[in-house]
A and B are shown apart, each in its own frame.
Chain A
Amino acid sequence: DAGVTQSPTHLIKTRGQQVTLRCSPKSGHDTVSWYQQALGQGPQFIFQYYEEEERQRGNFPDRFSGHQFPNYSSELNVNALLLGDSALYLCASSLDLYEQYFGPGTRLTVT
């Protein structure tokens, strides 16, 4: 079992650009959550997808959007990038609400 995988590992973008991050959940998991972790901080919940629908959203602007595919994989899209969007983006998958398994993250740098 490969566990949760994320791509790419690192990404450098310019202010105003758009970015798409990808996540493949652990085998058998149907729920995917996305988190933003700024340097020196704990992860902040962006949103959670279940059955291809956004089930709950954190305090993030509409520039952050996502999608879940029928195979449960997921994408996080961020439009009109700001310098403050630089962070580690973590994907977590679960079968129920209570045991989340995290991927290694995508390090996004906005210049």
Chain B
Amino acid sequence: GEDVEQSLFLSVREGDSSVINCTYTDSSSTYLYWYKQEPGAGLQLLTYIFSNMDMKQDQRLTVLLNKKDKHLSLRIADTQTGDSAIYFCAEIVTGGFKTIFGAGTRLFVKA
């Protein structure tokens, strides 16, 4: 089946690292994504990882993929108040064209 699950809320202090977690159920996922959505705005693609990779790093962002456990995480180093937003995990399943999104994790960054 197709399902992506995320915890709903995360609160961190400015300067700390944030780790947002996601689990997915379809083992044939091809690409896994992290998107950011600020209030009243569309979605911004942050990063993505192909299913044959374990890790991807892009500046302050680190994505870890555990295929055995179907677990994806996004680590944001040195979290800033501007990182406060909703973060969506998403997947594209092999042979398909649709992107399946989780419900989103709302990140609060306290100054």
Contact = CB atoms under 8 A, between A and B. Distances in A.
A58 interface: yes
Question: By DSSP majority rule, is chain B's interface helix, strand, loop, or mixed?
Answer: strand
Interface residues of A, number: 25
B25 interface: no
A92 B104 CA distance: 18
Contacts of A43: 43, 88, 99, 101
A104 B45 contact: no
A101 B4 CA distance: 20
A42 B104 contact: yes
Nearest to B44: A102
A68 interface: no
A87 to B, nearest CB: 13
B101 A58 contact: no
A50 B99 CA distance: 15
B103 interface: yes
Given A55-B97, A97-B97, A101-B45, A42 B31 contact: no
B48 A99 contact: yes
Contact of A90 (B43, B48, B97): B43
B17 to A, nearest CB: 24
A48 interface: yes
Nearest to B104: A42
A109 interface: no
A48 B44 contact: no
A56 B98 contact: yes
